[in-house]
Amino acid sequence: MKNHVWRPLFVVLAIVGGILIARTLLVPKDFGIHDRGYMYGWHRISSEAEWKKFPVKYKTAEVCIKCHKDKYNDIKDSPHAPISCENCHGPNYDHPKDPVGLKIDRSRALCIRCHALLPYKGSARAKIPGIDPVKHHPEAECVMCHYPHNPTRPNPKYAKPGVKS
């Protein structure tokens, strides 16, 4: 047959070959069907290891207690005992090597997350002592009267008698 009949076929073959070569170069070696089969497990498996390497920032209260036993004793019998240290003191990151993360949040905004009164019957929120943030001493920070580690005591730093818990 004449050459001009075959020529388009060579062009098509070259394109197909080019795509196949590009595919082997671009698609990672570990790309394929993994644990969850075709439908849910078609992926690059090294991506799992990448996610596993993601740095942990919140190291939990267990880590804090190792060095700060005194603070643990301070809070352990308080109504605030279930609150993890890092919720107020900030995430651990690499403390004590790198204390950058530990920025204590003493703000009113933190306290009213739980203590702004929301009167929803049946909800656990209604059982928490609550205030109206607009009316209850809006000029002051909560910690000026209330001791955060144990709200049943007044804050010794500001020693103000007669504060109700």
Partner 1 sequence: MMNRREFCKKSMIIAGGIALPLTALEIFNPKRLRAEKDGKGNVRWVFLVDIHKCVGCGLCVKACKIENDVNWDANVTRTWVERYVVTKDGHTYIDSPKGARDGFTTQKIDQAHAGLKDVNPDDITKGYFVPKLCNHCENPPCVQVCPVGATYQTKEGVVLVDRSWCIGCGYCVMGCPYGVRYFHPELHVAEKCTLCYHRLCQGMKTACVDACPFGARRVGNIRDPEDPVTKIITTEQVNVLKEEFGTKPQVFYLGYSMEVK
Largest CA distance in the chain: 108
Q: Is 22 in the site for partner 1 (CB under 8 A)?
A: no
Tell me the C-alpha distance between 155 and 150, whole Å: 9
Among 74, 125, 145, 158, binds partner 1 (CB under 8 A): 125
Identity of the residue, 34 or 68, whose beta carbon is nearer to partner 1 in the bound complex: 34
Residue 54 phi, psi (nearest 5): -55, 130
- Give the alpha-carbon dihedral of 111, 114, 116, 117, to 10 degrees: -150
Strand extents, DSSP E, 24-124: 31-33, 42-44
142-161 binders of partner 1 (CB under 8 A): none
Interface segment toward partner 1; rule CB under 8 A; list 2-10, 36-44, 140-148, 155-163: 36-44
Instruction: Indicate which single residue of 3, 77, 96, 120 sits in contact with partner 1 (rule: CB under 8 A).
Output: 120
Could you list the residues that contact partner 1 (CB under 8 A)? Answer: 31, 33-44, 47-48, 51-58, 60, 82-84, 86-87, 91, 109, 112-114, 116-125, 128, 133
